[in-house]
Amino acid sequence: MEWDSVPWLLILPVLIIQLLLVVVALIDLLRVKNTNGSKWMWAIIIILISIIGPVIYFIVGRRNE
């Protein structure tokens, strides 16, 4: 598939929102004191699993106290 034929204007918002989710999750990971499980594991999950990774972190990893 050629680079030019990709509809970048339509796909760009998707990429920006994914990036935002990852950045917000990482900022939160740096700010909280403890998480369920090690922080390194969560950083890897947030970065490597797209979309679902940050969501899983926010729901499971974060200790809401």
Partner 1 sequence: MNNFSILFQKEWRENVRNFKILWIPLVFILFGISEPLMYHYLPQILNAVGNMPSDMVFPLPDYTPEQIIMSTIGQYQFIGMLIVAFGFAGIIARERRNGTATMLYVRPIAYTSYVFSKLAIMCILIIGSACIGLLANVYYTYILYGAVDAVAFIGFLGTYSIWLLFAISVVICASSAFPTGIASVISIFLLVVLQLVDGLLGAYWTISPWKLPMYAGQILTGSFDKTPYLWSLTVTIMMVVLLIVGAIYIAKRNVAKAKI
- Would you tell me which residues interact with partner 1 (CB under 8 A)? 1, 5, 7, 10-11, 13-14, 17-18, 20-21, 24-25, 28, 51, 54-55, 58-60, 62, 64-65
* Residue carrying structure tokens 């979309």: 51
Question: How big is the chain, counted in residues?
Answer: 65
**Which is closer to partner 1, CB of 7 or CB of 40?**
7
Instruction: Please report how close the Cβ of residue 38 comes to partner 1 at its closest, in angstroms.
Output: 20
**Which is closer to partner 1, CB of 48 or CB of 59?**
59
Taking the C-alpha atoms of residue 3 and residue 17, their distance in angstroms, rounded to an integer, is 21
Instruction: Please report how close the Cβ of residue 14 comes to partner 1 at its closest, in angstroms.
Output: 6
Q: Identify any residues that bridge with 35 across adjacent strands, giving them in sequence order.
A: 62
Query: 9: which residues sit within 8 A by CB, 6+ positions away?
Result: none
